[in-house]
Structure 1
Amino acid sequence: MLYTIIKAIHIIFMVSYFAGIFYLVRIFVYYKDTDEFEEQKKMILREQYVFMARRLWNIITVPAGSIMLATGIILIILNTGLLKTPWFHLKLTFLLALLGYHYWSWKKVLQIKALSFQSLPIENLKLRQANEIATLILFLVIFTVILKAGVIEYWWQLILGFLAFVILIMGTVKLVNNASKKKK
C-alpha cells in the first residue's frame, strides 16, 4: 500500500511539475512577443512576466520537481528491480533530457531577470519550438512507462512515430507563428 501511495504522490507532482514547466516557457514566449510594443507597454508587461516567471519557478516548478524526484527515488529504493529493466533505463535517459531542459529553463529565468527588461537574445520561433520539448519528453516518458517491455521490442516504430509527432508539432508551431505575423 505504501508503494502505491508514494507512486500516486509521484504522479501528482509530475503533473504539477510539467504544468509549471509548460507555462514557464510560454511566459518566455510572451516576454519575447513584447519586442515590437511601445516602450511603456513593453516595460509594464516585461516586469509582470519576470515576476510571473520567478514566482512560477520558485513556488510551483522547483518544489513540484523536487517532490517528484524525491518520490521517484523512494520508489526505486522500494522496488530495486526497476533498475534491472531495460524500459526503466530508457525512462531514466528521457529524465536526463528533462534535467537538461530544466537547466535551460532555469537559465532563461535568470536571463530575463538580469536583462533589465531588454529583449531575449533568441528568436521567437525558437522559443515557441522549445516550448514543445517538454511535451515531447512527457510523451516519451509516459509511453515508456505504459508500454514497458513493448517499448524495447517495438523501439523503431516508436521512434518513427515520435519523429513524425515532433515534425507535426514543429510544423504547426511554424504555421501558427507565420499566421500571427501576417495578422500584424
Structure 2
Amino acid sequence: MDFLYVKALHIIFVVTWFAGLFYIVRLFIYHAEAENKLEPAKEILQTQYKLMAKRLWYIITWPSAILASFFAFWMLYKNPIYLEMPWMHVKLAFVLALYFYHYSCHRIFSQLQKDVIKYSALKLRIFNEIATIILFAVVFLVTLKSAINWVWGVVGIILFGIIMMMSIKLYKKIREKKSWEKAEREVLENDK
C-alpha cells in the first residue's frame, strides 16, 4: 500500500480516536450530574449513559486507538528515517501520554458501568481538557517540526488550558448564581 494511503488512514483513525475520547468524558460528566437527579430520572439517565458509553467505547474509541497505532507503526516501518527526527521523539512522548489518558478513561468507564462515581462533574470537565492539550501539542509539533516553534506551541497550549480551567470555574459560578436566583424567585412566588 502506498505511504500516503497509510498516512491518510492513520489521520482518519486519530480523528475518530480523539472524537471518542472527547465524547466519552462528556458522557462521564452527564452520568455524574445525573447522580443529583431524583428517581426515576436518575436511574433512567444513568442507564442510558452507560449504554451510550459502552457503545462509544467499544465500537469507536478502542478500535480507533488500535487502528491509529497500527497505521502509525506501518508508517514508521515504511519510513524509519522519522525515528531519527527529534520532533518525532517528542510526538511519541505525547502519544504515550495519550495512551495513559485513554487508560484513565477506561478506568472511569469501568467504574461508571458499576455505578461507582468517584469524580465530580467539575473534575471531569477539567480532566476532559487533557485530551485537548495533547491534540494541540501533537498537531503543532507535526505541522511545525521545529523545536523552537513547537515549544512556543506547547506554551500556548498550557496557557490555553489555564484559560479553559478558569472559564470552567467562571461558568460554574454563573450557573450556580442563576440556579440560586431561580430558587429565590420560586420561593418568592410561592410566598405570594
- Please tell me the TM-score bracket, short chain as reference: over 0.9
1:155 CA displacement: 4.9
Q: 1:1-184 alignment to 2 at 5 Å? A: 2-115=2-115, 120-148=117-145, 150=146, 152-184=147-179
Contact 2:140 2:150 in 1 (8 A): no
Change (3 A) 1:114 1:103: same
What SS class does the counterpart of residue 5 from structure 1 fall into? helix
Which whole-Å deviations, capped at 9, do the CAs of 1:95-134 have from their partners, x for residues lacking one? 011001000000111101112xx5x121221101111111
Q: Which amino acid aligns with 1:91?
A: K
What SS class does the counterpart of residue 118 from structure 2 fall into? coil
Q: Which amino acid aligns with 1:73?
A: F
CA distance in 1, matches of 2:150, 2:8: 27
CA distance in 2, matches of 1:65, 1:155: 24
Change (3 A) 1:156 1:70: closer
Gaps of 5+ in 2: 180-192
- Aligned residues: percent identity? 41
What SS class does the counterpart of residue 88 from structure 1 fall into? helix
Question: Which is higher, the Rg of structure 1 or of structure 2?
Answer: 2
TM-score (norm 2): 0.89
The runs of at least 4 aligned residues of structure 1 exceeding 6 Å deviation read none
Contact 2:137 2:153 in 1 (8 A): no
Which whole-Å deviations, capped at 9, do the CAs of 1:12-51 have from their partners, x for residues lacking one? 1111111111000000000111122102100100000011
For CA contacts below 8 A with separation 6 or more, give which structure has more relative contact order.
Answer: 1
Q: Which amino acid aligns with 1:20?
A: G
What SS class does the counterpart of residue 37 from structure 1 fall into? coil
CA distance in 2, matches of 1:72, 1:112: 31
CA distance in 1, matches of 2:74, 2:91: 16
What SS class does the counterpart of residue 131 from structure 1 fall into? helix
CA distance in 1, matches of 2:76, 2:107: 29
- Count of residue pairs the alignment pairs up: 179
TM-score (norm 1): 0.92
CA distance in 2, matches of 1:55, 1:157: 38
Q: Which amino acid aligns with 2:142?
A: V
CA distance in 2, matches of 1:89, 1:66: 20
